Amino acid sequence: MKVSQIGEFGLIKKLAYQSAQNIKKNTPSYRQLVTGIGDDAAVWNPTVPFQLATVDSLVENIHFTLKTITWEELGWKSLAVNLSDIAAMGGIPLYALISLGLPPETKVESITRLYAGMNKIARKFGVMLVGGDTVSSPFIFISVMVIGSAANKDGKTLSRSSAKPGDKVAVTGTIGASAGGLKMLLENLKFSRKDATTLRKAHLTPHPRVKEGLILVKNGVKCGMDISDGLVGDLTHICEMSRVGAKINIATVPLSPSLKTCFGEKALEMAISGGEDYELLFTAPQAVIEQAQKRMKCQVTIIGEITAVNSGKVLLMDHHGKKQNLKQTGWDHFNRQ
């Protein structure tokens, strides 16, 4: 059946029912919710007095193509990129509202699969789908808004504007697998099953670092963001907002092992300039990073430092301290068209 046959309200009812089946009742989001899907707005009663909100859209043939992503993966990813923004603040994600643009000939089954993917990641992170709208559109777009709260009543969060000269620059996990996955899918490259799966998952079903963001805030890290536009591009955002410079020792950037295996020499440039890793990039005094590192299960790597000079700029250095140049430094939606 097509969405034009079931109609807007039929579709909304179906998706609301599907999402209701998915609710976990022992979560902060469930306890704080007053009104969910079905009214003019969602209502919640926060227990932590600092609230967070973020919004991001994915557009067909710009951010994804149905030639390479399944509907379930698309649902997962559209929510994941927003959960990552809450993780990047060191916050707890609570609610999602979805604005869905769909061609009338879209199959209802495709949309229930999209929501199955969204519900899967929502459940994993204790997030509830509490509203949204569904509109006719000549192409698919998915705008997702996620609401969260600060970790504690003190309201501390990670910000982009609090890097200080002398801070070390660190990242969670490894970098570049998402860029490798994108290149593999677009160019239909063949790799071993293990590497292909790692690269595909990194690009299509990224895992937002929510737990890690909470640990960073609780251990005194003040400056951080997620890597969505690319390591250099995103660190440049921190430098601009904090009015500082940064140096990265490119030899220390923790490359994804699958990226290295599959792309060899190109791996470093892909890792540094490619986006959508959704790892956390943060700065703090070395002792603070080491303290946080002890409490995290994932890898944490120091890759450089914040400088008082070169405000707003990121310098790439090799392990001899010599300046390096790489071609691309980040994702820009309009300049890559």
Do the Cβ atoms of 303 and 252 come closer than 8 Å? yes
- Rg of the chain over Cα atoms, rounded to whole angstroms, equals 20
Measuring CA to CA, how many Å separate 82 from each of 88, 97, 194, 278?
10, 11, 27, 10
Stretch that binds a second copy, among 44-52, 70-78, 254-262, 296-304 (CB under 8 A): 44-52
98: contact with a second copy by CB under 8 A: yes
Site track for a second copy across 10-29, x = CB under 8 A: -x------------------
Q: Contacting a second copy (CB under 8 A), which of 66, 135, 186, 189? A: 135
SS (H, E, C) 256-286: CHHHHHHHHHHHHHHHHHCCCCCCEEEEECH
Q: In the numeric block, which tokens belong to residue 217?
A: 């805030």
Q: In this structure, are strands 314-317 and 245-249 parallel, antiparallel, or unpaired?
A: parallel
Number of alpha carbons in the 13 Å side-chain half-sphere of residue 144:
27
Do the Cβ atoms of 292 and 224 come closer than 8 Å? no
Site track for a second copy across 54-93, x = CB under 8 A: xxxxxx-xxx---------------------xx-xx-x--
CB nearer to a second copy: pick between 145 and 315: 145
CB nearer to a second copy: pick between 31 and 194: 31
Q: Contacting a second copy (CB under 8 A), which of 49, 65, 154, 310? A: 49
Site track for a second copy across 202-241, x = CB under 8 A: -----------------------xx--------------x
User: According to CB under 8 A, which residues from 144 to 203 bind a second copy?
Assistant: 145-148, 150, 155, 157-161
40: contact with a second copy by CB under 8 A: yes
